[in-house]
Structure formats: structure tokens, C-alpha cells
């Protein structure tokens, strides 16, 4: 079964479980109920591998993330407002996910050492997309933006991680303020 063969409904059911509970809590039996016309198949033939569903969901989710990033970058709004909104969205996400943090980072820890190359690749692609967003944002107004974009990425991911560890929002607020201060410091006069 290829990623394209996984029903959208399965991906939509998988995402909230991954976000709110984590990879280890996914029960593929509940995502892939046995149908009466499948009873003549061998056990397991009608089930989708959890890693394959996860990889497909990550790819599906990352397309939406890229679209959201491009929409923000093309909004015509001031860069500082976009950066502020990005951190504000993180705050909303952390509350919604019960402070679980990034499902990609959480899954990376869950599959480490399990040779899940497809999932590991999707995680790298997602982190690259978030870096690309900060890079594009900085390129618009800052000379030599790469190191500033990387610093903002690390502030962002650190704020998410600390919020996850402490189950509080203050790290996101502090991270947003630090990222904005850094960003504004390098704006042209």
C-alpha cells in the first residue's frame, strides 16, 4: 500500500491522536476496522502499518503547513506582525494539544532506533520547511538573513520544547519577545 492509498479519513483520524497522545498510543486496529468482505484475507492483510500511516499523515500535514507559510508570506502584512502571529499560533496549538509540543519532534523520539527511515525523512522535511519559512521572512528585510533565521528557528523550537516540559505558556511569550527583538534589531534603519 502506498501513501496515496491511505484514505483521507484515516489520515484525519490519525492526526489528532498523534498530536494529543503521541505515536506510541496509536492503535492501528481502531483505525483499520475489519470489514466482513475482508474475512477471507490473511490476518493483517487488511491493516495499514502504523509507520506508513504516520509517514503519510506527516506528508499530508506538511503540505498544509507549507500552504499556510506561503499564505502568511504573501499576505502583504509587516514582517514583525507575521512573526508575532506565528508565535501566537504556537500558543494556541500548545493549549489545544495539552502542551504535547511538536508531533514531529515527539514522533522522532518515539521511533528513534526503530529504523523508520520514511518517518525520519518526513521529520527532516518538516523541520526544513519551518526553517524555510523563517529564512524567507528574514530575506525580505534583513541583510544576510540565514543566521538570524536559524536563531529564530531555535528560539521557536526551544520555546515549544520548554512549554511542553513545563506545561506553561510563558516560554512561548518570552520566545516571541526574544525573536521579535532579534528580528527588529537587524531591520534596516
Q: What is the average per-residue pLDDT within 69-77?
A: 97
Show the domains of the chain with their CATH numbers: 3-185 (1.10.357.10)
Q: Per-residue pLDDT tens for 77-109? A: 999 999 999 999 999 999 999 999 899 999 988
Closest C-alpha to 96, from 169, 184, 23, 186: 169
Q: CA neighbours within 13 Å on the CB side: how many for 73?
A: 17
Query: Is residue 98 left, alpha or beta, with left meaning phi > 0 and alpha meaning psi from -120 to 50?
Result: left
CB 118 within 8 A of CB 51: yes
Identify the band that residue 39 occupies on the pLDDT scale cut at 50, 70 and 90. Answer: very low
Q: Per-residue pLDDT tens for 170-187? A: 999 999 999 999 999 999
Amino acid at each position: 500500500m502506498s501513501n496515496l492509498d491511505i484514505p483521507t479519513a484515516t489520515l484525519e483520524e490519525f492526526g489528532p491522536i498523534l498530536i494529543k497522545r503521541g505515536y506510541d498510543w496509536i492503535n492501528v486496529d481502531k483505525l483499520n476496522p475489519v470489514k466482513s468482505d475482508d474475512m477471507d484475507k490473511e490476518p493483517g492483510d487488511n491493516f495499514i502499518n502504523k509507520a506508513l500511516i504516520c509517514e503519510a499523515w506527516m506528508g499530508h500535514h506538511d503540505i498544509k503547513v507549507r500552504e499556510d507559510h506561503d499564505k502568511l508570506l504573501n499576505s502583504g502584512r509587516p514582517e514583525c506582525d507575521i512573526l508575532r502571529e506565528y508565535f501566537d499560533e504556537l500558543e494556541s496549538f500548545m493549549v489545544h494539544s495539552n502542551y504535547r509540543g511538536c508531533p514531529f519532534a515527539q514522533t522522532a523520539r518515539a521511533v528513534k532506533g526503530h529504523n523508520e527511515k520514511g518517518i525520519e525523512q518526513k521529520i527532516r522535511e518538516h523541520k526544513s520547511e519551518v526553517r524555510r519559512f523563517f529564512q524567507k521572512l528574514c530575506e525580505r528585510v534583513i541583510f544576510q538573513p540565514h543566521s538570524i533565521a536559524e536563531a529564530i528557528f531555535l528560539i521557536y523550537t526551544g520555546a515549544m520544547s520548554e512549554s511542553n516540559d513545563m506545561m506553561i505558556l510563558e516560554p512561548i511569550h518570552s520566545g516571541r519577545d526574544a525573536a521579535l527583538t532579534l528580528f527588529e534589531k537587524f531591520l534596516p534603519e
